[in-house]
Every structure is written in C-alpha cells, then in structure tokens.
A and B are shown apart, each in its own frame.
Chain A
C-alpha cells in the first residue's frame, strides 16, 4: 500500500484498452501470419505420421529423410533398447506417479545413474526429468545471492532460465571469447563464489568451445565450472564423453550436464560430478524435488542405450565421416556454413533472410528432406539458419542424396547460383 493521495493504489481500468494479456504477442502473430499467407508450409507445425527408422519418416504425407533430429547415434530403434523399455513397462508399469525423493525412485532410476557414473567415470550422477530441468535446477541451486554466474552469451535457453530462477549476479560474455571471459572473472570480487557455465557444442552453429583454455582460465580465478554436453554425448571424444574428453579437461570440470533426448534417444536429463557434497542436491534442488520422476520404461531404455554408447566407436567414426562429407559437399555447392570445418554432428547453413530461409526449408521438404529452420531470436546475431544434424545411421548414399536435394532446392530458390 502506498501513500498516494491523488491516485488510487490500483490503476484505473481504461475501458477497451490494454486489457488483453495477449496483446504483447501481436507483432509475432503478425509476422507468422505474413509467412503463412505467402503460401508456405508452416515450418513450426510439421507432423510425422509414421517413423520408419532413425533417419526416415512420413512427414505431412511424404516419405522424408530426417536431417533435423538430435538422434545422433540412432539409438531410438535399437532392438536391445526397445526390449529393455518393453520389459520395464510390463514389470514396473507405465509411470511412477511421484517425485524422485518420495515414491519416484525405482530400481531403474538407480541403474540409470549407475550407467551414467560408469559412462563418465565420475562419483555422482543425478537423473532429472529433462535436460532443461537439470540446467534449471543445478544452476539456480548452486549459485545463490552474492555469487556470480559467468556464461557465454549464446547459451541454451535452459541455462538462461536457470540464471533467471536463481538469485546470483549474471555476467555474460561474448561467444567463445576467452579474453572477454577472463576480464569478467578478473573484475569479480575475489571472495565471491563463481560459476562458469559453458557448452561443449553450441547447437545453433555446431561450433565447439575451446574448453582446454577456458577451463584453465576459470580455474585460475577459482571458479567452479559447469559444462553442458547435450550435443556431444555419445559422439565426441574417444569414449563419447564429450568435448571435455577431447580437450582433456574432464577431471577439471565440476559438473557435466547432459540429456537423454539426443544421442541416448529417449527423454530425461542429468548432472554428473565428483564434488564430495553433491548428493545434497537431491534435497535442495527444486526442479528435481517438485516434479514427477521419469517412467520406468524411459530410464530402462536410457540405461541400456548409455551402456551401448560406451562401445560405440564404430558408429562414432561413421558419424564423423557423414559430418565431413556433408560439410565439404555443401561448401562445394556454394552454401555459407556456420563453421569453416565440421566441428560436430550439426552443420548450420546460413540463409540470407527469414523469407528465403523459409522458402528453402519448404523446397527441401518437398524434395523429401527435413532440416530445422532456426530464426531470431533463438539464433546468434539474428541469423536465419537451416540446421542439419546428422545421424550415425545415415548411410553414405543417403548423404549423397541429401547433397543432391540441397543442390536442386538451393538453385530453385536462388540461394546458390
């Protein structure tokens, strides 16, 4: 209650004006309508009527090669993975109907955490209902009032939302810019708690972070380090542990966040750590406590898939080959790409603008190829991107077919000459 005299505390309603809470979305509604009015298929309303394999589906009535899923290792139809899920569904039922800390931890959740500890060679593993919640929970819980979170400006929404949910001071730095990161760490009061948040692979352009150098700088300033390896698990690194493994810093990072919704091929999220006090997170991390745990079938498929990924070196090699072939082929055709060399299983094709990007997306769909259309504000520097994500189950012939499709669609829409 204020002490205003000339005005009521409650704003007076202005009849017929500004009452619809949806009016803030009007410009977005208008932009979307304009795109649809131009006769294009709606890029954000695709339905897969049938899924034939990790790489093929019937989309909007057409047989389509999938080049826009995060099914990097093609585990979704693996017979052992599917069988494990079916058995758990039959033995433990369709859901847990409870939180991890009450009645929602079954044997399967424990086995899944055991598989993760082995996969990463770490002491602790905590399974969340999604990767989004893992970032939300860990970041907001460990960085409190007076602490600082230093993060890359191109971080995933779940990292930003973890910052927004917590009470720490949030300090972003320019994408992959080590000097900008160091300057910020240097200016933070020495006695303050610091968390540096990085990603192994940045999913918009498919570029990787220089983790070796960045982790060393973070440690020099006494910061704890969290690395989100959502897009590298199972694929990057000798044992598929991610960019931290290739960079040789897995023992220096304090937390790795990951997801089951990409290489693992189901849904769920996790954090692994060697911190001696890590287990307390299970009691204090609200996005872990106040939501239901994953269904038994999901954790059974995840555990089986994670164990198979430990031995996936042949698949990893084939996926790298696919990534190199597609990258070189698209470059040769004259497309502008997000990275000079292939750094991950994501290859981003940069479009001149949203209109031509949407037209190219539709032309590819009509050719029978699904890629992801990414647009501002989800993209760095307001770019429109066609994001291609490869799968270890894409055959070499499919990759050649994909390149032919890109050539025809690119010429038809005038994006390449």
Chain B
C-alpha cells in the first residue's frame, strides 16, 4: 500500500485521540508529545488494526515510538 495513503488514513484515525491538537509529524512521539497512556494505546491500536485488517503485536508496538515508525510498520504489515 502507498505510504501517503496509509499516512492519511492513520491521520484521520488519530484525530479523536489527539485531544490537545498536537501537530503531527513523522517525529511526533506517542508517549511524550501525544501523552498516550496504556488505555489510549490499546484503543488506538485496535482502531488501526481494524482499519487495515492487521495485527500489531505488543512486541511490535514496543519498537514503535514515533508516528513515522507507525506509518512504516503499518505499510509493511498491510503488504504482507
């Protein structure tokens, strides 16, 4: 799948979770900039998994700290 398309779909999914309206770039961090707690992470990950019909295991989540890394990971998972 095209990275730009994945990026735009994730951007619309993240909106309800981005309570402070942080400007999102590839370097935006989930824990630091977006202040996601573990419950938010679970709901957000579930939304992405459903959108792309993929699984992002906790092992994979542990490697993802920044928005750009998430987009890359989803591109790869959706292609497999």
Contacts and interface: CB of A to CB of B under 8 A. Distances in A.
B49 to A, nearest CB: 7
Give the size category of B's interface with A: 10 to 19
Contacts of A171: 55, 57-58
B25 interface: no
A153 interface: yes
A180 B59 CA distance: 19
B31 interface: no
A156 to B, nearest CB: 16
Given A174-B46, A180-B46, A187-B49, A148 B57 contact: yes
A170 B59 contact: yes
B35 interface: no
A188 B55 contact: yes
A171 B39 CA distance: 15
A407 to B, nearest CB: 33
A172 B42 contact: yes
Nearest to B61: A170
A172 B57 CA distance: 8
Q: Give the size category of A's interface with B.
A: 10 to 19
A337 B7 CA distance: 42
Contacts of A153: 42
A175 to B, nearest CB: 10
Interface string A165-196: 00001111010000010011001100000000
Contacts of B53: 187
A170 B57 contact: yes
Among the interface residues B38, B42, B57, B59, which one has the most CB atoms of the partner chain A within 10 A? Answer: B57
B50 A183 contact: yes
Interface string B4-47: 00000000000000000000000000000000001100100010
20 contacts: A148-B57, A163-B58, A169-B57, A169-B58, A169-B59, A169-B60, A170-B57, A171-B55, A171-B57, A171-B58, A172-B58, A174-B42, A183-B49, A183-B50, A184-B55, A187-B49, A187-B53, A188-B55, A381-B39, A382-B39
Interface of B: 38-39, 42, 46, 49-50, 53-55, 57-60
Closest 10 pairs (CB-CB, A-B)? A169-B57, A170-B58, A187-B55, A171-B57, A169-B59, A170-B57, A171-B55, A153-B42, A170-B59, A184-B55
